[in-house]
Amino acid sequence: MQTVSQNKSHGGTQGVYRHPSSETKTDMTFSVFVPDHAAGARLPVVTYLSGLTCTHANVTEKGEFRAACAELGLIFVAPDTSPRGEGVPGDPANSYDFGLGAGFYVDATEAPFAQNYRMWSYVTEELPQLIAANFPVDTTRQSILGHSMGGHGALTVALRHPDRYRAASAFAPIVAPSQVPWGNKALAGYLGSNKAAWRRHDAVALIEDGARFSELLVDYGDADNFLNEQLKPELLKAACEKASIPLTLRRQPGYDHSYYFISTFMADHLRWHAARLKK
């Protein structure tokens, strides 16, 4: 693991790191904020999954998470959204919502993507192990959140690993990719026509199929251009109600899909995570 940059911020260290990933077979870049802490202390760790077109940098620069993480004593990890580099298929000039910047947190089975697009295994296995080996984290106190495509990632990861993550939340998540254009395109492209595989990467379908999580927090803006066609929070609401999963679903008036929205509610989400991570 190589240090790309480290900057002191809000009393802690905002770092950017790069490592050769055995999953994606590319170099992967991620950011980690470590707040000031007592020598030898191990801190709870929050993983943030980003949305379409993003890298680690968007939330790192615009997410306004550091003040809250410093106050709450949380380590904040932000991976990239896809493999990148020479020979990796999925030129974003062709499509912003598939390929580079749009890994959708699945392990692709379809050619030519299966070789590199292993973001599920990367964010659930390889990266947490790397973080555990290199940062002062308490691996028994992990949580996950994300935005849009990353909200989809956070929800599906939490639902499939309810014992590993103590809290999960999302900003404007894609809750049912099988039922919306972004998700249909991505799941078909990465997983082919195997609809059973699709259901393992669809929060609503996972809940329908029996997956459970202690409770979920979701915020979305009612001025979000993607709300009705791509996000459909009402599908998550219905699934959670039927499955008796406590869901705090908040419609935020006037907010859109941008980091101006995310940053507004970031501290609130982190406080919600901290309360559950410190139990």
**Binding footprint of its own copies on the chain (CB under 8 A):** 7-11, 14, 61-62, 64, 66-67, 221, 223, 254-256, 258-261, 263-264, 267
- Which lies closer to its own copies via its Cβ, residue 121 or residue 258? 258
User: What minimum distance in Å lies between the beta carbon of 259 and its own copies?
Assistant: 8
- Which lies closer to its own copies via its Cβ, residue 10 or residue 25? 10
Out of 147, 257, 269, 273, which one is annotated catalytic?
Answer: 257
User: Is 185 exposed, middle or buried (CB count within 10 Å of its CB: 0-12, 13-18, 19+)?
Assistant: middle
- Which lies closer to its own copies via its Cβ, residue 11 or residue 112? 11
Out of 148, 152, 169, 273, which one is annotated catalytic?
Answer: 148
Residue 224: active-site member: yes
User: What minimum distance in Å lies between the beta carbon of 54 and its own copies?
Assistant: 13
Residue 21: active-site member: no
Non-local (6+) Cβ contacts of 133 within 8 A are none
- Which lies closer to its own copies via its Cβ, residue 59 or residue 203? 59
Cβ atoms of residues 198 and 106 within 8 Å = no
Out of 56, 82, 224, 273, which one is annotated catalytic?
Answer: 224
User: What minimum distance in Å lies between the beta carbon of 70 and its own copies?
Assistant: 9
Non-local (6+) Cβ contacts of 254 within 8 A are 221, 222, 223
Concatenate the DSSP letters of all residues of 200-233 into one string: TT-HHHHHHTT---S-EEEEEETT-TTIIIII-H
Residue 257: active-site member: yes
Cβ atoms of residues 31 and 58 within 8 Å = no
Neighbours of 4 (CB within 10 A): 12
Annotated active-site positions, please? 148, 224, 257
